[in-house]
Amino acid sequence: MRFSETLREEADAIWQASFDHPFVKELANGTLPVEKFAHYVQNDAHYLHVFAQVQSMAAAKSDDLATLGRLAAHAQATVEAELALHQTFFGMLGIERDPDFLPAPTNHRYTTHILTVAHRGTLGEIIAAILPCYWLYWEIGQRYKDSRPNHPIYDKWIQTYGDEWFGNLVQEQIQRLDELAKAAPEAERARMRRHFLISSTYELEFWQMAYTLERWPFESR
């Protein structure tokens, strides 16, 4: 069994909870309250900004030009495709990006996690930490691609993550993780496993953060 397959199997219960989370299910059937999606998209825009930084840091730790180029392309894709998508959502929701936006506690913890791995870890550890964001969204996109929310925002969200271009990026990163794991010593593989499972847990908590409109206790509503 490939390293990625063992991680996916171990994270299955966490991922299943994401598939079944009310945020995801209500988005897919078009009943998710818009204020919850607005909270999600504001936090996700912040997360993706950090995610692109981490992808760039992964590129900088690459030993060969081919890998460096591909990871830099992934960072560029995040900036151009993902953040552009979120700008579309901002427009459709009638809200503006706030440069002083304070990410919710769960978002803060998740981005701190991947930034810490990017600063301290190997390339393999970084890929393990960011892969759940790719892979889980792809599986959600595949699982719900035939759903019909009949909502302009939710239709576009599902279409994006069920699209072939996104699946190709996911498969590339899965393959990269397996190649890096083969060459890694056992101690590094153990850290890669831990980062993957921590990020998988944060992905689940991110839905809950959005669904409950999580904020810091000191914030005024």
pLDDT: which is higher, 78 or 54: 54
Answer whether residue 116 shows pLDDT above 60. yes
User: Which tens digits make up the pLDDT trace of 136-189?
Assistant: 999 999 999 888 899 999 998 998 888 888 888 899 999 999 999 999 999 999
The encoded tokens of residue 54 equal: 């981490």
Per-domain boundaries in the chain: 3-211
Distance CA 2, CA 181 (A): 9
Longest dimension (CA), the chain: 50
* pLDDT for position 221: 56
3-state secondary structure 153-203: HHHHHHHHHCCHHHHHHHHHHHHHHHHHHHHCCHHHHHHHHHHHHHHHHHH
Local confidence band at 82 (pLDDT 50, 70, 90 cut-offs): low
- What residues contact residue 62 under an 8 Å CB cut-off, 6+ apart? 68, 71, 123
The encoded tokens of residue 161 equal: 């993550």
Answer whether residue 63 shows pLDDT above 90. no
Q: Is there a contact between 10 and 194 (Cβ–Cβ < 8 Å)?
A: no
What is the CATH T-level fold of the domain 3-211, as seen in this structure? Heme Oxygenase; Chain A (1.20.910)
Answer whether residue 37 shows pLDDT above 90. yes
Distance CA 118, CA 40 (A): 24
Residues with active-site annotation: 133, 203
Q: What percent of the chain has pLDDT over 70?
A: 98
The encoded tokens of residue 117 equal: 């791995």
Query: Which H or E run includes 24?
Result: helix 22-29
